[in-house]
């Protein structure tokens, strides 16, 4: 944190917490007490009415306030819950930034609104199923995020899910963005091998390195409005109505269209390869039937036969 940001943060903390001792501020900002003394002198010289009392520390004149930000309870809780979500889904650098942002927002709230926000915050909770304590995942996110900012090409070995007998292929990618879908992180970018935009699941990436070569982003690329998803196959399936509710509950990423009829729930799926969904479909057993394409029907039959052989059925 640079000094300007720290001075503002000190004012916000004094405004939110009241009396603060120099040693408490030094511990909170991870600096020396001597630096705190210099910062307080700088604040007073700039016109901030800092009050100092032996044994109590520092406070602000009761009549001094920073220009207020006017939030409704819903706006404030949205911002604070947003910082909580970022803290869960990103690494330590962004976690600290998210927590700092939440403190700054809470500091400028009036007492009544602060109480409302605290009550709402206590009654809502987001739980992430993916931990950011996994060192390999954190390292990948940090490398890729830096490559995106610096416009650097990345190289890695990518392991395909069903290619048990095939070594991972080396890919050179111009990373354009990171996506968090469900509980999974993906990197989206231009694949030099396929000469097209592709998405890659981070758990399947090995031996990532950031290359010296730079790239120019694809024209009119916008990850927010048009996440890259290459569709090579259109799949039509019908589910038994007894499981329709549970199928829809999963919010499958590949579903393009859905409609219910008396004989079942019909879905149209858009996938890059059939391997993206075949295991998901097999998991529904006799409650799902593939209508097209014929090639996927054959794959489903072959998979079912392999399962039977595993249990010594002819």
Compute the distance between CA of residue 180 and CA of residue 164 in angstroms, rounded to an integer.
Answer: 26
Q: Specify the DSSP class assigned to residue 217.
A: P
Residue range 182-215, pLDDT digits in tens: 677 889 999 999 888 888 888 889 999 999 999 9
Domain co-membership, 94 together with 43: no
221 domain-assigned: no
Q: What is the DSSP letter of 109?
A: S
Same domain, residue pair 304 and 240 = yes
Q: CB-hemisphere CA count at 13 Å for 294?
A: 0
Helix 111-122 and helix 73-89, axial crossing angle in degrees, nearest 10 = 50
Q: Is the dihedral of CA 38, 42, 45, 47 positive or negative?
A: negative
Is there a single domain that holds both residue 143 and residue 116?
Answer: no
* In a domain? residue 219: no
Per-residue model confidence (pLDDT) at position 270? 87
**pLDDT interval class at 69 (50, 70, 90):** low
Structure tokens at 211: 């290359």
| pLDDT tens figures, 4-51 | 888 888 888 887 788 999 999 999 888 999 999 999 998 888 888 888
Q: How many CB atoms lie within 10 A of CB 202?
A: 19
Is there a domain that residue 275 lies in?
A: yes
Residue 277, in any domain of the structure = yes
Beta bridge partners of 181: 184
| Residues 158 and 200 occupy one common structural domain | yes
Is residue 63 over pLDDT 70?
Answer: no
Domain boundary among the residues 180, 214, 248 is at: 214
Q: Most distant CA pair in the chain: distance in Å?
A: 88
On whether residue 176 sits in a domain, the answer given is yes
Q: What is the CATH number of the domain that holds 20?
A: 1.10.10.10
* Domain total of the chain: 4
User: Among residues 36, 60, 84, which one ends one of the domains?
Assistant: 60
Question: 312's torsion region: left (phi>0), alpha (psi -120 to 50) or beta?
Answer: left
Asked if 90 and 145 touch (Cβ cutoff 8 Å), the reply is no
In a domain, 225, yes or no: no
Q: In the predicted model, what is the mean pLDDT of the chain?
A: 82
Residue 220 inside a domain? The answer is no
Within a domain: 193: yes
Through-space distance between the first and last CA atoms of the chain, rounded to whole angstroms: 68
The CATH code of the domain that includes 287 is 3.30.70
99-121 average pLDDT score: 75
Q: Are residues 97 and 42 in the same domain?
A: no
Q: What is the pLDDT of residue 273?
A: 78
Confidence of residue 264 (pLDDT cuts 50, 70, 90): very high
Q: Are residues 265 and 292 in the same domain?
A: yes
Distance between CA atoms of residues 110 and 117, nearest Å:
10
C-alpha pair distances (Å), 207 with each of 51, 139, 171:
55, 11, 11
Highest mean pLDDT among 87-91, 120-124, 275-279: 275-279
Domain extent, residue 168, equals 135-214
pTM for the complete prediction?
0.54
Query: Is there a single domain that holds both residue 173 and residue 116?
Result: no
């Amino acid at each position: 944190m640079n000094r300007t940001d720290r001075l503002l943060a000190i004012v916000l903390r004094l405004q939110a917490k009241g009396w603060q001792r120099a040693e408490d501020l030094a511990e909170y900002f991870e600096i020396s007490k001597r630096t705190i003394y210099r910062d307080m002198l700088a604040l007073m010289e700039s016109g901030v009415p800092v009050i100092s009392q032996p044994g109590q520390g520092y406070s602000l004149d009761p009549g001094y306030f920073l220009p207020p930000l006017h939030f409704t309870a819903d706006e404030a809780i949205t911002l604070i819950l947003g910082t909580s979500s970022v803290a869960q889904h990103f690494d330590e650098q962004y976690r600290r930034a998210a927590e700092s942002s939440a403190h700054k927002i809470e500091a400028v709230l009036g007492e009544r609104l602060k109480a409302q926000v605290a009550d709402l915050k206590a009654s809502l909770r987001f739980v992430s199923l993916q931990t950011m304590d996994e060192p390999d995942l954190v390292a990948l996110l940090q490398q890729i995020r830096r490559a995106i900012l610096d416009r650097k090409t990345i190289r890695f070995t990518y392991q395909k899910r069903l290619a048990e007998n095939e070594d991972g292929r080396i890919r050179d990618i111009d990373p354009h963005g990171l996506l968090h879908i469900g509980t999974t992180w993906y990197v989206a970018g231009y694949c030099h091998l396929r000469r097209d935009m592709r998405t890659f699941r981070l758990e399947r990436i090995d031996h990532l390195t950031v290359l010296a070569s730079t790239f120019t982003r694809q024209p009119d690329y916008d990850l927010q409005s048009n996440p890259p998803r290459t569709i090579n196959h259109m799949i039509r399936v019908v589910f038994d109505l007894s499981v329709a509710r549970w199928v829809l509950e999963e919010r499958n990423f590949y579903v393009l269209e859905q409609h219910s009829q008396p004989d079942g729930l019909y879905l149209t799926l858009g996938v890059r390869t059939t391997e993206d969904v075949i295991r998901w479909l097999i998991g529904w057993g006799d409650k799902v039937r593939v209508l097209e394409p014929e090639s996927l029907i054959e794959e489903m039959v072959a998979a079912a036969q392999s399962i039977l052989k595993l249990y010594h059925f002819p």
